Amino acid sequence: MESLVFHNHPAIELSTNTFINVPVILQYDELPLIEVVQTQDAGFTTQIPIYHPDGTYLSKAVGARLFLTEEGQRADLILEHPDRVTVCKLGEKILFEIHRRDAAALRTQAELYTPDGRFVKCSQSPTPELYSADGSALTIRGGIVMSGNTFHGCRIGIWVKSDGSVAIGCA
């Protein structure tokens, strides 16, 4: 008898918008900024690269774990692990926080940059260069406000390009 293996692709929520079976939630040019990856120990989780404002690739967040690059180690990034939280700091400035509600539920707050130094913010803030996710809506530069949408089965949920164009729900 052959065994059956079920893979449940997670539903990722970004400011009230839900992405189901979408491998790349947010992409900038050709770089996935928030993507869904499969790991052996955790099933599906998110993967997010973390860049310094000057474009230096500092670390990668995979689920609730942060992996420093050589540049991140040289920049003296500090990882702290208070109860159910992973915090990534540069000096006293918090760059990234991952909060674990339980084994399968993560909440992320980040100040992210692209390799060309554009600012992306995933938390409550004034609207930044590319987009803002404040929990109630997703605001993309140019006046697009997205709230309560569901994306299912597309390859890229939100594709922001350096030329200012935005594509949503890319096949």
Convert the pLDDT of each residue in 23-52 to its tens digit. Answer: 998 899 999 988 988 877 667 888 889 888
Which of 8-17, 86-95, 149-158 is modeled with the greatest confidence? 149-158
Under a CB-based contact definition with an 8 Å cutoff, are residues 147 and 17 in contact?
A: yes
Per-residue pLDDT, averaged over 53-63, amounts to 86
Distance separating alpha carbons of residues 159 and 28, to the nearest angstrom: 6
Under a CB-based contact definition with an 8 Å cutoff, are residues 148 and 154 in contact?
A: no
CB atoms closer than 10 angstroms to residue 136: 12
Q: Which two tokens stand for residue 34?
A: 């928030």
What is the reported pTM?
0.77
User: How many Cα neighbours within 13 Å face the side chain of 160?
Assistant: 20
* Predicted confidence (pLDDT) per residue in 69-114, tens digit: 999 888 888 888 888 777 888 888 877 777 776 655 566 666 677 8
The structural domains of the chain, with segments of one domain joined by +, span 11-170
Residue 76 backbone dihedrals phi, psi, to 5 degrees: 60, 40
CB atoms closer than 10 angstroms to residue 115: 15
